[in-house]
């Protein structure tokens, strides 16, 4: 199944706010989160990665076309999508609805098949 991964820097001082956002997505808004990802055929995971350069959110998405789904989800006109993208902008410092549709990352190494960087 196709998969994509992306790293999003968390703005300085926003890690606890990011955790609260994830807790809300896992709690009070869980049904909306699941419905949103199911609508686009996506299985999404988010990880918190601490680095010397600051904290990152590592996001993976699996599905038929995760890059296309990411762009469509970030541009959806629903209450949940507006909440999610506003929180993403607040935590990461950019508007995810302005990210071009497609893969946000380039696959350069895969243990299951050779991958040649462009």
In the chain, the domains with their CATH numbers are 3-98 (3.30.70)
pLDDT for the residue numbered 75: 87
Q: Would you say residue 100 has pLDDT above 80? A: no
Q: Are 40 and 65 a contacting pair, CB within 8 Å?
A: no
Separation between Cα atoms, residue 52 and residue 5, nearest integer Å: 20
Q: Are 18 and 91 a contacting pair, CB within 8 Å?
A: yes
b/e map 82-110, b = 16+ CB within 10 Å = eebbebbeebbeeebbebeeebbeeeeee
Q: Are 104 and 70 a contacting pair, CB within 8 Å?
A: yes
Distances (CA, A) of 103 to 17, 24, 39, 82, 117: 27, 27, 19, 21, 14
The end-to-end CA distance of the chain, in Å, is: 22
What are the phi and psi torsion angles at 106 (to 5°)?
Answer: -105, 125
Could you tell me how many helices (H) and strands (E) the chain has, helices first? 4, 3
pLDDT for the residue numbered 1: 82
Q: What is the pLDDT of residues 24-69, one digit of tens each?
A: 999 999 999 999 999 999 999 999 999 999 999 999 999 998 988 8
**pLDDT band at residue 105 under the 50/70/90 scheme:** confident
């Amino acid at each position: 199944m196709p998969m994509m991964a992306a790293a999003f820097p968390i703005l300085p001082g926003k890690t606890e706010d990011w955790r609260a956002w994830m807790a809300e997505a896992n709690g009070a808004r869980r049904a909306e989160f699941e419905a949103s990802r199911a609508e686009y055929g996506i299985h999404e995971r988010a990880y918190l990665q601490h680095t010397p350069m600051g904290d990152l959110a590592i996001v993976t998405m699996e599905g038929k076309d995760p890059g296309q789904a990411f762009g469509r989800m970030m541009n959806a006109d629903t209450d949940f999508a507006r909440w999610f993208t506003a929180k993403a902008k607040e935590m990461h410092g950019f508007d995810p609805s302005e990210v071009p549709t497609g893969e946000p990352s380039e696959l350069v190494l895969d243990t299951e098949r050779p991958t040649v960087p462009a």
